[in-house]
Amino acid sequence: MSRRKPAARAGPPHPDAGPPRPRGGLRARARAAGPAVTGTGAAASATLALLVLICTFVAVAVPRASLGYRTTVLQRAFAAAPATQKTVLADGDLSGFGGKPLTAAQLEKARVQLAAGLQRDGLPLAGPATRWQWSGLTAGSIPLSGVTAPGVQHTAQPQLELLYRSTLASQSVLAAGSLPTKLVRRGSAATFQVAVTTATAARLGVRVGSRLRTAGQTLVVTGIVRPARPASAFWTVDPVAAAPRLTQLSVDSAPFWSNAAFVGPAEVPAVQSYLSGVPLHTLWSFPLDLRSVTADQAPGLQRDLQAVSYLPVAGSVGSTLGIPTDKFVPYSVSISNGLVVILPSFVATDDAVQRALSLLFVSLAVIAAVVVLLGARLVTLRRDQEFTMMRARGASPRSR
């Protein structure tokens, strides 16, 4: 039988053979370590991205939320303010004017000129102008006679103001009769057609067709109206326009009822002519649209409103209305706004709050920068093995 030769035993390594090579080589180890290193780097990158996202959200959301809260407080202050404080009023004194009586068309032309000047100076006027803005004339207060209502007879003689409002038809609802349209002249006296509110008619005990006397003139009630928006500046600029008010000038004087009646546009010059001995004032009203005003815009709006008294448009309107046919009579128009009572306190408080919040915003920015730097450092340390393998493959150190 043939014998199988025993396998040759491995002898000692040759001295010149060199160190043993690892099985699989560097490529195999890199291939094995690659997934682990890649997974670690992806997790670190995701963590850094999340940290950056959170810091960015905080840096953007907090100031926006702060502006939203501050604007909400400002809008609530606007909502609580009466309409007269949110209205720009232009007033001109016609007492002793001596010029040619102004017509309703001249008053309306002056309103358009004033509105254009206010808009040029950046004031947010409410629109449409034909409804919310109005021009007017006030004459009074004048003793009123011919009233037989029991509630009036027990007080001193009632007083009456004659008012003209260009938008009376759109700011009221006709309850009875018709609005005044014409004037009947009879020498030194005249018969004025007037409209009164339902509250005034009830207090004075008058109805359509009633006749009253004031300053030697006759008033015929042709219409009874009801305020459409009682809280608007149209009815609240002059408190007696909507309803009579019991007035007592001093402790020793007897109280009396203050009332108002509206005349038509055709009667505006006659009011100035026949009632020249009583206080006469022109009036223009410009409500403001404050719905889009933010807390950051409040200081600028305050500066614009504080400068409204010095606008050149007031002087130009006064010059236009103050030139009669025979001689020059200067006419002064003053512009005012009640919002300057609300804005200074809000702006001062908001400025103090902003200084405190600015410290918070700076702290958040510093914390965000530190978090980003620490995240970058964390990613660098976690990817150190990957960088080592890349250098072992021959990558340049700059590739990091």
Query: 286-322 burial string, b = 16+ CB within 10 Å, else e?
Result: bbbebeebebeebeebbebbeebeebebbeebbeebb
Kindly give, in sequence order, each residue whose CB lies less than 8 Å from that of residue 206, ignoring residues fewer than 6 positions away. Answer: 147, 149, 196, 200, 212, 221
The single-letter DSSP state of residue 22 is P
Pairing mode of beta strands 217-227, 159-165: unpaired
- The rounded percent of the chain whose pLDDT value lies above 70 is 70
pTM of the prediction?
A: 0.72
User: What Å distances lie between residue 13 and 8, 10, 21, 23, CA to CA?
Assistant: 14, 8, 13, 17
Pairwise CA distance, residues 100 & 4, whole Å: 146
The alpha carbon of residue 176 and the mean position of all alpha carbons in its chain are separated, in whole angstroms, by 37
Write the single-letter amino acid at 370. V
Could you tell me which of 400, 389, 289 has the C-alpha nearest to residue 339? 289
Query: CA angle at residue 349 from 344 to 355, to 5 degrees?
Result: 125
Question: Maximum Cα–Cα distance for the chain, whole Å?
Answer: 166
Name the token pair of 53.
């996202």
Whether residue 328 is predicted with pLDDT greater than 60 in this model: the reply is no
User: Is there a contact between 288 and 124 (Cβ–Cβ < 8 Å)?
Assistant: yes
User: What Å distances lie between residue 49 and 53, 262, 382, CA to CA?
Assistant: 6, 71, 15
Average pLDDT over residues 366-389: 69
Pairwise CA distance, residues 117 & 335, whole Å: 12
Q: Which residues on neighbouring strands pair with residue 162, listed in sequence order?
A: 139, 261
Whether residue 274 is predicted with pLDDT greater than 80 in this model: the reply is yes
Start-end of H helices in the chain: 25-80, 104-120, 129-132, 150-153, 198-204, 233-236, 268-274, 298-306, 312-321, 343-382, 384-392
Map tokens 């009221």 to a residue: 172
Write the single-letter amino acid at 270. A
Would you state the pLDDT for residue 37?
47
Lowest mean pLDDT: which of 122-126, 145-149, 215-219, 343-347? Answer: 145-149
Which of 39-43, 117-121, 185-189, 287-291 is the most confident on average? 287-291
Pairwise CA distance, residues 357 & 66, whole Å: 9
Tell which wins on pLDDT, 333 or 291.
Answer: 291
Pairwise CA distance, residues 236 & 242, whole Å: 8
Would you state the pLDDT for residue 285?
94
User: Is there a contact between 282 and 163 (Cβ–Cβ < 8 Å)?
Assistant: no
Could you tell me which of 371, 358, 360 has the C-alpha nearest to residue 54? 371
Name the token pair of 397.
């150190």
Pairwise CA distance, residues 340 & 198, whole Å: 34
User: What Å distances lie between residue 93 and 258, 279, 334, CA to CA?
Assistant: 21, 8, 9
Pairwise CA distance, residues 37 & 242, whole Å: 83
For the chain, percent helix, then strand, then coil, each to nearest 5? 50, 20, 30
Q: Which residues on neighbouring strands pair with residue 92, listed in sequence order?
A: 282, 333
- Taking only the tens place, the pLDDT of each residue in 190-238 is 899 999 999 999 999 899 999 999 888 999 999 999 999 999 999 999 9
- For helices 343-382 and 298-306, what crossing angle results, to 10°? 150
The single-letter DSSP state of residue 255 is P
- Taking only the tens place, the pLDDT of each residue in 1-60 is 445 555 555 555 555 555 555 444 445 544 554 555 455 556 656 666 666 666 666 656
Would you state the pLDDT for residue 26?
46
